[in-house]
Amino acid sequence: MSSKESCPVVNISCNLGKRHGITASWFTEDKISVTAYSNQLLQSVNNRPPVNAPVKVTHLAPTFILDEPILRSLVSECSNVFLNLQVVKSSSPAASIDYLKISRTYRSAIRACLEKLEDLITNTKPRDLEQYQNYVTIFYSVEYIWHLVEILIVDSNSATAVVPNLLEWVQYHFPTANRMATELLQQGRDVDSNEEYWTVVKGLIIQGQIQVARALLRLHTKSEMVCFEVAEQILQTMPIYSAYGGLSVPKFKSQWQYWSANARSKIDAGILAAEPDLEEIVKLVIGDRQTWTEQCRYATSWFEYFPGYLFYTESTCKYYELGTFANTWLSQCISTGGMNATYKYLDKIILSVMENNLPQVLHNIQNICDNKWFLTHLVDLLYHCGQLTLSTGGTEDQDAEKLFRESLLYDFGTLLMSRNASLWEVGLDYLEFSSTEGLGAREALLARIPIRNEKQALKLISAAKKNNFPAVETEICKVLVKRNLATRLYGNALEWAIRSRDSFYVTAVANIFLEHYCNTGEIMCEDVIANVGAKMFCSPRLIFLVKYYDFRQFYRERSFAQAADLLINLLDSKITPSYFWPSLLADTIPLLEFKEPVIPTKETYTILHHLEWDLVPMIEKRKEQLKGAKTAAQQQQQQQSQKMDTDEDNNQTLNAKLAPNLLNNCTDDLVKLLRLACARNLARAFIIENTVAD
């Protein structure tokens, strides 16, 4: 049976496409690339004028509806149900799990979401009303299908008899008759004065609610008439089949035939003719085909009256027989003009469920515009309860169910992690229980989530640690290092660089601190450096920065001997950056000028050694570089400085935007001062060291 489905229309503004036509190809698994294309014969190419207009490429993708806050809460709530099921199943494979309860938990979350959407519709502006109405339509369909799958497939008792469950299903989703009956019962006597009275009673009968219908009939003002008493007797003595009632199917059918023949004889005798509505109700109860066919005209969908029809005609129906009866009933409804002869997409899925055609059901569910949320959770539930049957029994597809479930979990998990920054944690859970490919995708996708602020970065790092992804943690820290450098937050940049444990990044940021000191004589962010502690060992440059900070602290506290020892150790450490030699050696001058030497002769020779072998060659080399090209070099440096200032977001560099001349203090005067200070300190130190105490 075919159906004409409405599809959304997308307008693409493309002049070339209007003239030559368009073509489309898959860009990703959920995105189509559309561009202008003319499929003409080669010999006709020369007859066409050349086209110099740019070719526009348009990407079309399904709408990601899970961004809506209410739907986002649905995803989060159901992910907890999903996660609990996976944990229980993996930790205790042999444990008894109430899958029916899990299915109902999913449905209760869907129902709560629908109630929130309906409340939102009442307070929504007209321009957004259609969007929320579409959401309601989508998830009402999801609830219809899920509930039916639950009672027919997930419920282990469905193999015995399906009619009671179908009646419960239709009563739940078409509650109008039940609600109006409650209002009439509360009204008391004279309920038949209500113009909807007989409509409500018929609706109750059609849904199999015999007891409630009898209660309303007893409230009728003519309830003491013979026709009402006869109808009451017929309804009261109606046999009802129960799989656990101890009555075999043949014996029940025998009782039913006797009872229905007796009821029909009373109709034929005209006992009920005084009340046509009452007579019609009794005809419905005995399963009169013509009466049920007439009622089809008032149904909103083909399956609204179907469970009631089964209840009065084939109440012993089993699931394997349901498809045959459903097709017969559907043909009957459409042929008589029921439902205005329409056949919706939801009708198709409901029929496939009743036909026990699970592959077709899952195929049709994929076309529901819910970003495969429904399909993913339903397949996972069916897989765990052992009801997911897709293979034909061959050895080549014996793992089809497992692979299908894993592919859905992978697709849904990657969708959440790649499309929504607030649902990436949920996406991680789905990928964790997907295939091996999904486990690898978690690490790759986690590192590519856009970082909005440091709070989110800490969440990402926590997830990376929890899942043992050290490379992801490092990448996140690197991103924040670059971001803080671009905004000149050097203290934060140093902290994130240390956290990244990447020696290159730590060295680069430490260089910024040292170069800043060379140019200004001040150490930036001293509180950050003071609390580095043992983390300094991740980079030699950071060790030098921290130890130099300690040297300055000793000097400020007037612990000159300790300051001198630390300074000499830095000179001999072989971790001093070349550009820092002028500053480091200049710091020795005040210590060399003390009247009572704090630097012994041996250490003074060390200073002289580094002066002659490190500082002097640096000065000579610089003179050669500046000789004959001083003006050109200055212009080039200015251009580079301007370029660095304007390119704040360059991710390829970690250099500080500081004054470029780090050797301003590196002059011949500095060398002369150092030599003089060393000579004077040596003279004083020799005298003290060679003086013998009395």
CB-based contact 381:147 (threshold 8 Å): no
Mean pLDDT of 514-523: 92
pLDDT at 14: 76
Share of the chain above pLDDT 70, in %: 88
Domain ranges of the chain: 15-61, 163-350, 393-450, 454-625+653-689
Taking the C-alpha atoms of residue 158 and residue 557, their distance in angstroms, rounded to an integer, is 85
Would the pLDDT of 384 be above 60? yes
**pLDDT (tens digit per residue) in 590-607:** 999 998 899 999 999 999
Rounded Cα distance between 128 and 134, Å, is 10
For residue 651, pLDDT beyond 60: no
Q: For residue 476, what pLDDT is reported? A: 95
Which range of 147-151, 340-344, 640-644 scores highest in mean pLDDT? It is 147-151
Q: What is the mean pLDDT of residues 9-20?
A: 75
Is residue 421 pLDDT above 80, yes or no? no
pTM of the model: 0.83
What's residue 669's pLDDT? 85
pLDDT at 650: 40
Q: Which amino acid is at 6?
A: S
Q: What one-character DSSP code corresponds to residue 389?
A: -
For the chain, percent of residues with pLDDT exceeding 90: 63
- Name, in order, each residue with C-beta under 8 angstroms of 310's C-beta and a sequence gap of 6 or more: 163, 166, 317, 325
DSSP string covering 547-564, please?
Answer: HHHHHHHHHHTT-HHHHH
Instruction: Evaluate if residue 662 carries a pLDDT over 60.
Output: no
The partner residues of 59 in beta bridges, in order of sequence, read 33
Residue with tokens 């860009």: 27
Buried b (16+ CB within 10 A) or exposed e, 607-616: beebbeebbb
pLDDT score of 691 more than 70: yes
User: Considering the chain, what is the average pLDDT of its residues?
Assistant: 86
Cα dihedral 432→434→435→436 (10° resolution): -10
pLDDT in tens, 468-511: 999 999 999 999 999 999 999 999 999 999 999 999 999 999 99
**Phi then psi for 33, rounded to 5 degrees?**
-100, 125
**What DSSP line would sit under 243-309, residue for residue?**
TTSS--HHHHHHHHHHHHHHHHHHHHTTTTTT-HHHHHHHHHHTT-HHHHHHHGGG-SSTTSSHHHH
Is the per-residue pLDDT at 45 higher than 80? no
Q: What is the pLDDT of residues 104-157, one digit of tens each?
A: 999 999 999 999 999 999 887 777 788 899 999 999 999 999 999 999 999 877
Q: Regarding predicted confidence, which is higher, 667 or 525?
A: 525
- 222: DSSP letter: T
End-to-end Cα separation, the chain, in angstroms = 121
Residue 416: pLDDT over 50: yes
Q: Mean pLDDT over residues 654-681, rounded?
A: 68
Residues 88-112 have a mean pLDDT of: 91
CA 576, 582, 585, 588 torsion: positive or negative?
negative
User: CB count, 10 Å around CB of 87?
Assistant: 11
Q: Which residues pair with 34 in a beta bridge?
A: 24, 58
CB 1 within 8 Å of CB 343: yes
Note whether 454 and 493 are within 8 A (CB): no
Of the listed ranges 152-166, 286-300, 477-491, the least confidently predicted one is: 152-166
